[in-house]
Structure 1
Amino acid sequence: MNKTFLFFLIVLFQATTVMKVFACTNFIVTKGASKDGSVMVVYTCDGEFHPSLRVVPAADYKPGEMLQIKDWSGNVLGEIKQALHTYAIVGPHMNEHQVSIGETTFGGRAELVNSSNLLHYWTLMQLTLKRSKTALEAVKTLTALAEEYGYKSEGESFSIADPNEAWILEMIGTGKKGKGAIWVARRIPDGYVSAHANKSRIGEFPLDDPENCLYSKNVIDFAIKKGYYNPESGEPFRFNEAYDPSNPSNLRYCESRVWSLFNRCAPSLKLSTDYHRGVEGADRYPLWIKPDSKLNVEAVSYLIRDHYEGTDFDMTKGIEAGPFGSPNRCRPLVLDVDGKTAVWERPISTRNTAFSFIAQSRSWLPNEIGGVLWYGYDDTYYTCYTPVYCCTKEIPKVWGQGSLQKFSWDSAWWIFNFVSNFSDLRYSDMIQDIQKVQRELEQKFVAYIPAMDKAAGELYKINPKLATDFLSDFSNDQLDMVAERWTELAEHLITKYNDGYIKDENGNAQTVGYPQEWLKKVMKDKPGHILPVWEKEKALEPSNY
């Protein structure tokens, strides 16, 4: 099975049901909520597939040309009108005009999926990035394509941003015999942040504010027709409850992540845990909030590295975390234990993340300099967000190759996966080694960017091409360097942590053993079984053991 077909199967499975997939998380920061006036979109793409960082160049086409839409096996599903000019994309998640798009699948009502339609959400994202200069244009392009050619996927939430504003767009199909789509889009007020995590989040929305809210003509009438909403109930129409009804299961799985993001960037709100724990009558979380302090890239990367540490849901605590406090849990998340249903928590940081990014758009700079895609492979907690300018012309080979079926040191994705998987053997110790390198590199990148912007700006005045070549070379150099450093980190970890010992700074193996807290739990669970008990003598380990 080749990697593209495997990827198609994974994504198709991902769109089947929210509760059985790895799913995704998005976080959106508006200009007024960021320290420097950036607009930022976070997208964690959580699925078990081998991604490829790449560049899609701009292109020109003749009038009347058609674009074939194919599945991941190369089969032609249909065709649409080709644009006369398409824009370059890096990632491919951000285009040359600093427009970026992220997504999370909310699933919603299964009967509204029409698999015979033409355009899946990922196809819509790519087509939209190729055809849009602004976030508003992207909203209109994506929805127009879905309405003209038919929406194929389940319910989807999109984050759409440019250097000046950000929108959240939610879309679902119209059923087996329907063609278009049902959708609503809201502009996030400046100074606020928003988030979504596999649960539709747009509830009530204004019907008479076209500058800040757009929607399909059928959004309410269709819900009434299908019995999803009764206008005589006295309740206001809410998109999320009509098309993605809440239940304790999806609230826990999805809204817990939204709560964690909001709770940590605005602790003053003291948001209750009741809603994401499914407590009846609990207050919903707002669609957007104002953070207690303005955010930069570093702060955003901190927010999306989370296992609910320091809360009642802390995944590094308890017997399930093992002796070394690992927050990672094997799938499935829903368990059957002696006929009873149990669930693991679903955090923002998950070992199943294929890639993630922080797309940063900056209005005070030329597009070629303003757009930066901070990109990372694998789990957000372990990755290293590396700056890639949106004008980058090519990507190093190590970041664009590899297969899920075969490990390779020539694949950056596999290098990052090796580090995160190996560190799970002794998480509490190894994560410190990983974060030391992570912080060193990311802090260096943050320090580099202003100098790179300034130098590129001077070159831009002389010749814009010189500036784009300069930034493209810089991006590639950092990507190459990160892949090399992470390979060195992998080799360091497997050398330092070997056979249950930990080597000191001189390379001498030290017996460290297990934490006392965990050993006490073991002895309590099996008293007198794990170790014999001596009342007067102390057990001695042979020196040559």
Structure 2
Amino acid sequence: MLRTLRGRWATPRAAAWAAAGAVLVAALPPVRACTSILVSRGASKDGSVIITYSADAPFMPRLLRVPGGKHAPGAMVDVRGWEDDEVRGQVRQAETTYTVVGLMNEHQLSLGETTTGGRRELVDRKGQLDYDAMMLLTLQRAKTAREAIATIDALCKEYGYGSSGETISIADANEAWIMELIGKGPGRKGIVWVAARVPEGYITSHANMSRITTFPLNDPDNWLYSPDVISFAVEKGYYRTDSGRPFSYRDAYHPDQGPSQKRACAGRVWSVCRRAAPSQNYSDAYFRGVEGAEDYPLFVKPDKPLAVSDVMALMRDHFEGTPYDMTKGIDAGPFGSPLRLRDLTFAVDQKRYMWERPISTQQAGFVVVTQGRKGLPDAIGGVTWFTPDEASTSCFTPLYCSIGALPAAYERGDYQKFSWDSAWWVTNLVSNLAYDRWSRVYPDVRKAQEEQEAALLKMQPVIEEAAAKLAATDPALASTFLTNYSVSTGESVFRRWQDLASSILTKHVDGYLKTGKGHPSAPGYSPEWLREVVKSRPEQFKLPEAKQAGETDH
């Protein structure tokens, strides 16, 4: 989750901070949400290490590039994250920092996260590093996933950690790691944590709920942990060594896994599992809160290696094809919309209910799918597929980790004012035009999405082959080439979405559907939905049996 606090990125103060953040956001109430998938090199179709991150909170992100460089010994740097423009003190600057584009650095290291909460007494609001500042500093200082784990630990020990429990996705060109961490409470610096390497040929996912339970203590190639992860739990009374049970990180630090949390969080993990490995027939019982039901495995072997397009598709899920399909039922409205307004929980006649919570949600501020690839130079192998807004109604565009500039449309905007020049606003316009008439409008969106992304994925090896040839003799020219490609591609995607918004409004204006020749037709509502309307109020809409001569619809 990206938790919004104070300040708008559109303010002058935030603009001055452009060189030190990956994404800045508008000030809105915090929303507990995010989804991340990690794909090991052996589980991907082309040998990529892939992670995804849907930042699900109602804000406007502005994509920023953070230049790296050399710094004088003893230099200090302001601590800020990407969520706001608040200065949280200063830390010692590293002598060398690395360029960051989005949430990937020039060495193909990328990060994602979901907020898991955990024990409230372990939050130290005076800790200097919120999770976003911690992640950004790490991307500027670490080259590999293992270095990132050590850097996160060291930073929190020195400066204190100020957020609640987090699950962090960490990937480089070789490995993917899932790391869970939580602070030690007011007045105590540092974190307790455990990290697991995603086995080759497997994937994992997390969605605002702790995933790691028991783990081996003697497998440093695949499992790392803080030396006091168990002893601290014993000290605080979270675990008893004489209990006869092995230590479980989740049971100790995230013990409250209630029905609503399972419904909202474990449901997304289930959907990743059931779509990536349908042959396993993963049960829905755990996320539906069935007593004693088995949790989903931390690591899942997909039925077939996943292409980047497959991973993008996983991020567009609304439980389609399951009993919880959000495009079905009376709650989907007359046009089968997956949109469910917040709050997730509601009451009717003093009974509590809850909407389904899908991976793809209207509250997403941005979504990324990052690729790291061992067989390519860092400047070419590292690419972030980025889109503002939610994945199901938007289009991913590639941004290579070595680029020296960004598409201008992705840097513009103000949450308080619509703009045709802002990629965030235009992408949101398309999604909001689709929500209310989903079954009619979404096919147009999906067609544009498929065409655009298929063309970009087809071009990717061609562009990278050309870049590799340039890099062999002139790395700077290769970087310029990739910059020009990333910028022009992003602007092209933006212009297509501008055209898409205009065409949707033109084609579907006032409830009509225009034919290819521009003639309006009135398709009305589906028989299924009309049947439900009549069922709810049969007498109100009923007409006499015979229509009088000369009567017409108006």
CA shift, 1:68, in A, is 2.1
* 1:5-20 alignment runs, 5 A limit: 13-14=29-30
CA shift, 1:421, in A, is 0.6
Show the counterpart of 1:453. Answer: 464
The answer to whether the 8 Å contact 2:24/2:61 transfers is no
Question: 2:372 corresponds to which letter in structure 1?
Answer: S
Query: Given the alignment, which residue of 361, 366, 371 partners 1:355?
Result: 366
* 1:251-330 alignment runs, 5 A limit: 251-330=262-341
* 1:116-515 alignment runs, 5 A limit: 116-245=126-255, 246-515=257-526
**SS of 1:24's equivalent?**
coil
Question: 1:31 corresponds to which letter in structure 2?
Answer: R
TM-score (norm 2): 0.94
Show the counterpart of 1:522. Answer: 533
The answer to whether the 8 Å contact 1:99/1:134 transfers is yes
**SS of 1:293's equivalent?**
coil
**SS of 1:168's equivalent?**
strand
* Whole-angstrom distance in 2 between the partners of 1:205 and 1:478: 44
* Whole-angstrom distance in 2 between the partners of 1:77 and 1:58: 21
**SS of 1:358's equivalent?**
strand
Question: 1:365 corresponds to which letter in structure 2?
Answer: L
**SS of 1:499's equivalent?**
helix
Confirm or deny that 1:57 pairs with 2:54: no
Task: Check 1:195–1:74 CA distance in 2 against 1; reply closer, same or farther (3 A cut).
Answer: closer
* Whole-angstrom distance in 1 between the partners of 2:368 and 2:119: 29
Greater shift, 32-41 or 4-13, is seen at 4-13
The answer to whether the 8 Å contact 1:54/1:394 transfers is no
CA shift, 1:10, in A, is 6.8
Identity %: 48
The answer to whether the 8 Å contact 1:114/1:173 transfers is yes
Confirm or deny that 1:36 pairs with 2:46: yes
* Whole-angstrom distance in 1 between the partners of 2:189 and 2:29: 22
TM-score (norm 1): 0.95
The answer to whether the 8 Å contact 1:22/1:352 transfers is no
* Whole-angstrom distance in 2 between the partners of 1:423 and 1:13: 25
User: Unaligned stretches of 5+ in structure 1?
Assistant: 15-20
* Whole-angstrom distance in 1 between the partners of 2:335 and 2:122: 45
* Whole-angstrom distance in 1 between the partners of 2:124 and 2:399: 37
CA shift, 1:269, in A, is 1.2
The answer to whether the 8 Å contact 1:11/1:47 transfers is no
Task: Check 1:10–1:326 CA distance in 2 against 1; reply closer, same or farther (3 A cut).
Answer: same
CA shift, 1:268, in A, is 1.2
Question: 2:421 corresponds to which letter in structure 1?
Answer: D
* Whole-angstrom distance in 1 between the partners of 2:86 and 2:483: 34
**SS of 2:346's equivalent?**
strand
Greater shift, 473-482 or 228-237, is seen at 228-237
* Whole-angstrom distance in 2 between the partners of 1:122 and 1:463: 35
* Whole-angstrom distance in 1 between the partners of 2:392 and 2:416: 24
Task: Check 1:200–1:540 CA distance in 2 against 1; reply closer, same or farther (3 A cut).
Answer: farther
* Whole-angstrom distance in 2 between the partners of 1:73 and 1:484: 29
Show the counterpart of 2:3. Answer: none
Task: Check 1:255–1:512 CA distance in 2 against 1; reply closer, same or farther (3 A cut).
Answer: same
**SS of 1:301's equivalent?**
helix
Alignment deviations for residues 499-528 of structure 1 (CA, whole Å, 9 cap, x no partner): 111111111110111111000110111112
The answer to whether the 8 Å contact 1:157/1:168 transfers is yes
Show the counterpart of 1:3. Answer: 8
**SS of 1:40's equivalent?**
strand
Show the counterpart of 1:17. Answer: none
**SS of 2:385's equivalent?**
strand
The answer to whether the 8 Å contact 2:124/2:185 transfers is yes
The answer to whether the 8 Å contact 1:23/1:198 transfers is yes
* Whole-angstrom distance in 2 between the partners of 1:478 and 1:9: 24
Greater shift, 297-306 or 229-238, is seen at 229-238
CA shift, 1:55, in A, is 1.1
* Whole-angstrom distance in 2 between the partners of 1:518 and 1:450: 47
Show the counterpart of 2:35. Answer: 25
The answer to whether the 8 Å contact 2:468/2:478 transfers is yes
CA shift, 1:537, in A, is 3.1
CA shift, 1:247, in A, is 2.0
| Count of residue correspondences | 536
* Whole-angstrom distance in 2 between the partners of 1:11 and 1:220: 38
CA shift, 1:12, in A, is 8.8
Question: 1:461 corresponds to which letter in structure 2?
Answer: A
**SS of 1:416's equivalent?**
helix
* Whole-angstrom distance in 2 between the partners of 1:174 and 1:362: 36
* Whole-angstrom distance in 2 between the partners of 1:140 and 1:539: 83
Alignment deviations for residues 59-107 of structure 1 (CA, whole Å, 9 cap, x no partner): 210011112224766554322111011100111x000011100000000
**SS of 1:289's equivalent?**
coil
